[in-house]
Structure 1
Amino acid sequence: MDLPRSFTIRESSHRVCNPFTSEKLAILGQAISPSPGARMLDLACGKGEMLCTWARDHGVAGTGVDISTVFLEAARARAVELSVADRVGFVHADASGHVADDPVDIAACVGATWIGSGVAGTVELLRRSLVPGGMMLIGEPYWRREPEDQATVEGCHLARKDDLLPLPELLEQFGALGCDVVEMVLADQDSWDRYVAAQWLNTRRWLDANPDDELADELRAELAAGPAQHARYQREYLGWGVFVLMDR
């Protein structure tokens, strides 16, 4: 049980494995201002940057769950680096069925709502781990601009236009699920550039070091097409944000 190697190659230098910069992550923490000692569960936590930096900056404690052994190794190293390994821990598991043993104050799934087969299922999964009055953090893309054709949809790595909603409709969906949206921090085009362009450099460095690897042809083709595809489609049409929800 692990992520395909291509994911860890593309994101080898990333601390935040989504189009959120470290600055945006810090803004989100400042916005919700968790109390020292608040307990947190982060499903599909990636390299654990949110848990580790919030443990350092806000005194939270908690657990991250992820399927990637490579990402979890980085998360544990980051916890040691920030001197928070006594407050945060990481579990190698499929986050799609994970519920906290004891209810937590903050339950998060930032950029991986496929673990609940979409937004609705992920909200329901996070609810199962929350104390009354707790907060859910959902990271989710949305249409920044409505795509005009199927080529644009596929250029954004999606199969159907209906796979995403425009931002107002996404916010309404949270309401229909019985949640109040109490905060949001949105990525911008620069955030997307930092996330995606770092993947290009990681890929190029890996290709230079591994020209004969079985993945080399696939990643070479991806790198050749990626920058123009990003500029034409993803940068213009895709938004992304983290939404803070509380049950009504």
Structure 2
Amino acid sequence: MDLPRSFSIREGGSRILNPFDEHKLATLGRALRLPAGSRILDLACGKGEMLCTWARDLGYTGLGVDVSSSFIADADTRARELGVESRVGFRHDDAAGFVHDPEADVASCMGASWIGGGPTWRDSVTGTLALLQRSVRPGGLLLLGEPFWKLRPQSEEALAACHAQTLDDFAELPSLLDHFADLDYDLVEVVMADEHSWDRYAASQWLAIRRWLDANPDDELHGELRTELDASPRQHLLHQRSHLGWGVFVLMRR
């Protein structure tokens, strides 16, 4: 049970594995307005930067779960670096179907709603929110990091550059907001990525891949990642940057 090795190579230079920078992540933590000691479950937690920095700066506690053994190892290291290993923990496990006991104050899934299953964005969002809801106390918060179409692609090239097979792979923002309401959730806070934070996330992958390619010319993944680096900057700058939005939506069950 693990992610392909290419994921850890691609994310080798990143601590936040989504289109947020450290300022937006800090803004989100403060926006929750929770007391110190509040407990968070973070599904598909990546390298644990959210839990570690919020524990350091805001006194939150929590558990992160991720299917990547290398990400979990990095998260454990980060917790020790920041001196918060007594307040946060990390578990190598499949986030899909994972339920927290005891109930948390916050349950989050930041950019990995595929854990909810289903062929369309509606199915994934519905399944992920249902899973998160099982782990929070009454009145608890759900954090959903989700991409959406800022501008609908008008060409197959643009669609493919956004790693989508059909337009229904991502929601348009009005449809996503309507879906939250249909599922009986109030949207109570939001922090959005912007083009700068998208650039930082995307470009850090290019540099990580290039440095890995230089250091590993004979690796079996060299050809695959060389092809990715050839395409990724153009895809991001010409298409992803203008077509895709991303935000963290803070929700409460009505």
- Shared fold per TM-score greater than 0.5: yes
Aligned-residue sequence identity (percent) comes to: 58
Shift of 1:224: 1.1
In structure 2, C-alpha distance between the alignment counterparts of 1:229 and 1:109, rounded to whole Å = 26
Shift of 1:236: 0.8
Equivalent position SS for 1:115? helix
Shift of 1:225: 1.4
Does residue 132 (structure 1) correspond to residue 138 (structure 2)? The answer is yes
2:2 corresponds to which letter in structure 1?
D
2:41 corresponds to which letter in structure 1?
L
Structure 1, 126-135 or 222-231: larger mean CA deviation = 222-231
- Aligned pairs for 1:40-51 (under 5 A) are 40-51=40-51
* Of 174, 185, 190, the match for 2:180: 174
In structure 2, C-alpha distance between the alignment counterparts of 1:178 and 1:28, rounded to whole Å = 23
Q: Is the 8 A contact 1:134 1:246 kept in 2?
A: yes
2:253 counterpart residue number: 247
Deviations, residues 194-243 of structure 1 (Å, cap 9, x unaligned):
00100000000000000110000111111111111111111110000100
1:106 counterpart residue number: 106
For structure 1, the 5+ residue unaligned runs are: none
Shift of 1:58: 1.2
Does residue 210 (structure 1) correspond to residue 216 (structure 2)? The answer is yes
- Runs (4 or more) in structure 1 with deviation over 3 Å come to none
* Of 139, 157, 179, the match for 1:151: 157
In structure 2, C-alpha distance between the alignment counterparts of 1:78 and 1:34, rounded to whole Å = 23
1:73 counterpart residue number: 73
For structure 2, the 5+ residue unaligned runs are: 118-123
Deviations, residues 160-179 of structure 1 (Å, cap 9, x unaligned):
10111111221111111110
Shift of 1:54: 0.7
1:199 counterpart residue number: 205
Equivalent position SS for 1:36? coil
In structure 1, C-alpha distance between the alignment counterparts of 2:153 and 2:179, rounded to whole Å = 20
In structure 2, C-alpha distance between the alignment counterparts of 1:199 and 1:217, rounded to whole Å = 16
1:3 counterpart residue number: 3
Equivalent position SS for 1:193? helix
In structure 2, C-alpha distance between the alignment counterparts of 1:105 and 1:216, rounded to whole Å = 43
* Of 175, 183, 190, the match for 2:196: 190
2:229 counterpart residue number: 223
2:144 corresponds to which letter in structure 1?
I
Equivalent position SS for 1:95? coil
1:74 corresponds to which letter in structure 2?
D
Aligned residues: 248
1:29 counterpart residue number: 29
Deviations, residues 130-188 of structure 1 (Å, cap 9, x unaligned):
10000000000000111113322111001110111111221111111110000000001
2:244 counterpart residue number: 238
